[in-house]
Structure 1
Amino acid sequence: MKKIMIFDDDEDILSICTYILEGEGWQVQSNLDCVDLVSKISLFKPDVIIMDNWIPDEGGVVATREIKSVDALKRIPVIYFSANSDIETLARQAGADLVFPKPFDLDALKEIVRKAQAMKL
């Protein structure tokens, strides 16, 4: 089964994304923070990661950089997820593979996740 991890501090967004992606056949693990980030990802072994910009404790830029600095994790596509108007710059600074702005359309969510899965690095 294909797996996705979502890091976002908004429980409503996590619920919506989980519902939509489970309907698309994904096994979803949602996280309200980035505590033990590397170990969580290493245990779950996701095919795709969605990372919010405003995620506690370290923020999306630092969290994404941490993921991309670990050899065993760096090939997992990371979708940078934010309502920040400068999302492109933040995603570039973080080393994310794709950008997905909030608010979002549900069909666009499905499409960006399919795109990320196809680019599995």
Structure 2
Amino acid sequence: MEKNSKLIAVFDDDQDLLNIFRFLFEDEGFEVQTFQNCDQVVEKVNAISPDLILMDNWIPSTGGEFAVQQLKSHADLKNIPVIYVSANNDVKEIAARAGADRFLAKPFEFDDLLALTNELLHLK
């Protein structure tokens, strides 16, 4: 399979989910960097320059909403697309407050996540 060499940063406190995301995205040819907390999120994202960010809502220590707000208020990082994922019933409202580009409610199908990923990365 041809590598598209796009890097996806995944922020989720569930190690099992991180492993699944890594496996599924790498199987599609993406590079994956995972984080179990969103502490120093600006520094972490700056250090790896991902093409896309997947952000969980309930993640230590500040939570995904604040983390995305930090990223979106940073001039060098605000254009990196963010997919907000949460099991919250109001994930759409939280994602909007955070400034995320898209959202997915957990549980979701990986095909739906992949379609969003490809759309945001302009990969068809």
Q: TM-score, normalised by structure 2?
A: 0.92
Equivalent pairs: percent with the same residue?
Answer: 44
Partner of 2:15: 11
Report which structure shows greater RCO (CA 8 Å, sep ≥6). Answer: 1
Q: Residue 100 of structure 1: which of 98, 104, 118 is its match? A: 104
Contact map agreement 1:100 1:112 (CA 8 A) in 2 = no
Q: Residue 116 of structure 2: which of 95, 112, 116 is its match? A: 112
Q: Provide the aligned C-alpha RMSD in A.
A: 1.1
Partner of 2:64: 60
Amino acid at match of 2:104: F
CA positional deviation for 1:35: 1.6
SS in 1 for 2:33: strand
Partner of 1:2: 6
Q: Residue 43 of structure 2: which of 32, 39, 42 is its match? A: 39
Structure 2 gaps of 5+ residues are none
Q: TM-score, normalised by structure 1?
A: 0.95
Contact map agreement 1:8 1:55 (CA 8 A) in 2 = yes
Q: Residue 77 of structure 2: which of 46, 52, 73 is its match? A: 73
Contact map agreement 1:79 1:116 (CA 8 A) in 2 = no
Structure 1 gaps of 5+ residues are none
CA positional deviation for 1:33: 0.1
